[in-house]
Structure 1
């Protein structure tokens, strides 16, 4: 159950914003096809990360996997991509907080609220106060209760009085199957971060049972929530309006005309965004601190607060970066860079899985969990992640080029300025000590 709560809690905010851009790119039907297709990719990702993390010498998710399987340069890029994935998600969260507050008063200047939200959450993380699994239980419950409340408030089960008008509100597949391809990048938003459950593998009493069960249950929960969210929003809001809304569930609640539903979704949207941003600050700062601790960044960021035991310098350093992106107010652009970074990590994760099985075939080392039907999950991940990137290029080609340029320049900087400080043998010694010499 804790694995389920961790996975669903990380991805909570995807129910409330961002996913609806799939409709603008692929139409109503293209949107739901893209969502179910991306769910297949995430099943594959979860299987791979569960196996690899179950044998890692230390915690840290895909960054740790890259350290021991691909070496310093790949680890640097995976760590940097993770930092920016979470930093951009954090910025997107507070943009939605500002937008939903502005819905109460169109003349409201939202920039102070965006700044206050980030400063407050940064202060909480500086002091060491961050979301626990218990909070994940509570927030997850609130989110799904509010979505179900919205669903049942429409009387969807009674054709005579139902408020759901899919036939009138949806627009089918206006751009054909190319639209499905274009929608795939934003379909990721429903599931982005579920692979983080792999970080709990070493803490489970029975990883063989609890990790795959908790992860798959988490994915099924998210898929059901995604389908219900699509169904309700698509039946209450016309496709053109839904495709550009910054807060689709809240807008669907307003469309019902029922005050208690509007209040519930207003609170649910605010809580989910703030909880997500809080977790993102925690994850991004610790990833940045880990890069510094391993010598990939200047060691100034590795310092831990003597009283609060937090990576306070990393927390403070990353805040203005997220704030700068949030101040642009360009929600789809911010989300795109977060998704772009995540898709690159997924491709590298699949490569790591292929390399891991070649280095240490089954029965050579003990695994807490074994991913079935290898190498199919890795192949599925590479194909679908690349397909999502191709679809992204239809509308956000410049963003992709800028992202590639950024990570390329960062890699050149790392090789010229930091690579000499890396003790490369340390990157592999812990793995060799635990697993023995690899086959290659």
Structure 2
């Protein structure tokens, strides 16, 4: 598997197909993230109460708006598979690129596992409503991951077209629940009395702690970058799809908090497995229950589907550049997909989906994402310094620089503290994992990397590259 020569890799140097438009980019970004409205976000309410959950929703929304703005500029200019990994290898260097690629793979693979767990939990909940408690969830978890991996194996256009349809249905289900409750379709009226009677049950510090799971509303929107090499017009599709995606999610997140907080006691909401589906059950409407069951199922499948797409592109890109064994950098001769990367990551997702609790998997995904966002702050500053405006052609220029970068760094630092308050052991373990991986790359893998071949953009190379 070691890449002593390049002869074996040359036959596999097929290229990915440019077949995607802005709607597919939207479907990839929102499809990965929308499951955060259907599960996981509500743990922020359990951390600090209803007000803390709302503040986490909006603060996290500001963090991800900065992420979307920065990504839209850099990725529409560095339009290559791997997204932030491709940015890092051009702007920073190999060690940072390796770590960023690993952040992406871990974040999306853990998110994929969390989605599969939710599919099993949802089916178990519905079976319990029918008097068949104790459903074996594992076969459904395995089936969901295997089916979506097969779909990704067969081609990106079909994969993201599928995501476009089921993501739209899942989003419209949230809108339908919100409108129905507002017009009196619920047997239980909205009740926000807890906001006035006990607004901060655990004190002010828990507002910070709640930010940990508030990130789950939006985690993964940066995945739109992974499609950069497969869109027809990166300068148009990536900014439009990404910015439309974050606006969609801000609306969906606020509606979700409003509906669930108004229909359920915050003590129950803070530990619910499928909060939007539970909210539909509280209304007493069979139609809404069926709709939100379908919405929850579609949201989890869309997210897992997008995660397989993004994780495999990051792994494929790293392998193509010899940061990992080049065997994984092959493109399927018929379907033009990174099929070996897709297949390789399936058992890793299954191990975590079958053997780890949901909150732990969510935390691992969030931590990997946070590390990636922290990198983006330094990456953006270096990008503007090395190639000032007017020196190279950009697909999009985000406004207010460097304000979004500064805000993002401050919010990322706050989020690390929030994670430390509840999951300090996991934070330490993840940092140790990435340090060990960095040492492995430096001492064992870097010798196979062809540094001169990493720079593929038609720009003037920075001094010393």
- Could you state the TM-score of these two structures normalised by the residue count of structure 1? 0.92
The answer to whether 1:216 aligns with 2:216 is no
Match of 1:164 in 2: 190
The answer to whether 1:355 aligns with 2:377 is no
1:266-277 counterparts in 2 under 5 A? 266-277=293-304
| Aligned counterpart in structure 2 of residue 13 of structure 1, from 24, 35, 42 | 35
- Closer, same or farther in 2 for the Cα pair 1:194/1:304, shift >3 Å? same
The answer to whether 1:27 aligns with 2:49 is yes
The alignment yields a C-alpha RMSD, in angstroms, of 2.4
Match of 1:62 in 2: 84
Number of residue equivalences: 435
Q: Secondary structure at the match of 2:49?
A: helix
Shift of 1:70: 1.0
Cα distance in 1, alignment partners of residues 302 and 241 from structure 2: 21
| Aligned counterpart in structure 2 of residue 151 of structure 1, from 178, 181, 186 | 178
- Closer, same or farther in 2 for the Cα pair 1:286/1:196, shift >3 Å? closer
Cα distance in 2, alignment partners of residues 127 and 133 from structure 1: 11
Match of 1:187 in 2: 214
Q: Which 5+ residue runs of structure 1 have no aligned equivalent?
A: none
Cα distance in 2, alignment partners of residues 307 and 160 from structure 1: 51
1:343-422 counterparts in 2 under 5 A? 343-422=370-449
Checking the alignment, whether the CA contact within 8 Å between 1:87 and 1:280 is kept in structure 2 is yes
- Closer, same or farther in 2 for the Cα pair 1:39/1:55, shift >3 Å? same
Shift of 1:58: 3.1
Instruction: Map Cα deviations across residues 351-384 of structure 1 (whole Å, 9 max, x no partner).
Output: 1001111111222222221122211111111110
Checking the alignment, whether the CA contact within 8 Å between 1:171 and 1:239 is kept in structure 2 is no
Match of 2:7 in 1: none
Match of 2:123 in 1: 101
The answer to whether 1:423 aligns with 2:450 is yes
Match of 2:154 in 1: 127
- Closer, same or farther in 2 for the Cα pair 1:115/1:206, shift >3 Å? closer
Checking the alignment, whether the CA contact within 8 Å between 1:82 and 1:341 is kept in structure 2 is yes
- Closer, same or farther in 2 for the Cα pair 1:396/1:80, shift >3 Å? same
Checking the alignment, whether the CA contact within 8 Å between 2:185 and 2:283 is kept in structure 1 is no
Cα distance in 2, alignment partners of residues 318 and 215 from structure 1: 25
Cα distance in 2, alignment partners of residues 303 and 49 from structure 1: 27
Match of 2:94 in 1: 72
Shift of 1:23: 0.5
Match of 1:139 in 2: 166
Q: Secondary structure at the match of 1:361?
A: coil
Q: Secondary structure at the match of 1:266?
A: helix
Q: Secondary structure at the match of 2:389?
A: coil
Match of 2:75 in 1: 53
Instruction: Map Cα deviations across residues 160-186 of structure 1 (whole Å, 9 max, x no partner).
Output: 987211215995222333212111121
Checking the alignment, whether the CA contact within 8 Å between 2:170 and 2:294 is kept in structure 1 is no
Q: Secondary structure at the match of 1:371?
A: coil
- Closer, same or farther in 2 for the Cα pair 1:199/1:292, shift >3 Å? closer
Checking the alignment, whether the CA contact within 8 Å between 2:208 and 2:418 is kept in structure 1 is yes
- Closer, same or farther in 2 for the Cα pair 1:161/1:399, shift >3 Å? closer
Shift of 1:249: 0.4
| Aligned counterpart in structure 1 of residue 108 of structure 2, from 69, 80, 86 | 86
- Closer, same or farther in 2 for the Cα pair 1:282/1:219, shift >3 Å? closer
Q: Which 5+ residue runs of structure 2 have no aligned equivalent?
A: 1-21
Cα distance in 1, alignment partners of residues 38 and 402 from structure 2: 34
* Greater shift in the superposed pair: 386-395 or 298-307: 298-307
Cα distance in 1, alignment partners of residues 218 and 397 from structure 2: 22
- Could you state the TM-score of these two structures normalised by the residue count of structure 2? 0.87
Q: Secondary structure at the match of 2:204?
A: helix
Shift of 1:424: 1.2
Cα distance in 2, alignment partners of residues 405 and 357 from structure 1: 31
Checking the alignment, whether the CA contact within 8 Å between 1:28 and 1:171 is kept in structure 2 is no
The answer to whether 1:436 aligns with 2:460 is yes
Shift of 1:280: 1.1
* Greater shift in the superposed pair: 145-154 or 290-299: 145-154
Cα distance in 2, alignment partners of residues 246 and 8 from structure 1: 21
Cα distance in 2, alignment partners of residues 300 and 62 from structure 1: 22
Instruction: Map Cα deviations across residues 47-88 of structure 1 (whole Å, 9 max, x no partner).
Output: 211111232263431111001011111111111110111100
